[in-house]
Amino acid sequence: MRETLIEEGRLRRLFKEAFVETLEERKDLFYNLFVEVIEDIALVRAIQEGENTEPVSRQEIFKLLETQT
């Protein structure tokens, strides 16, 4: 059985090149992934903030929305 040893630095460069090539070829996939992550983070923060505020009635919300348009 023959073993092939690859220098660590060379292996890192190969992985880096493969990763960069994948990013370039699938920009749309990674863009959509990052957008979803950012939206999820924002939603979690909004929920946490909402847990620390006073409740607002449905009527008050719709009144506020009507004045925004």
**The model scores a pTM over 0.85:** no
Where are the alpha helices (H) located in the chain, listed in sequence order? Answer: 8-25, 27-51, 58-68
| Domain definitions of the chain by residue range | 8-68
pLDDT in tens, the chain (69 residues): 555 677 888 889 999 999 999 989 999 998 999 999 999 999 999 999 999 999 999 999 999 999 886
At 4 the pLDDT is 64
The SS3 of residue 55 is: coil
What pLDDT score does 6 carry? 73
CB distance 23 to 30 below 8 Å: yes
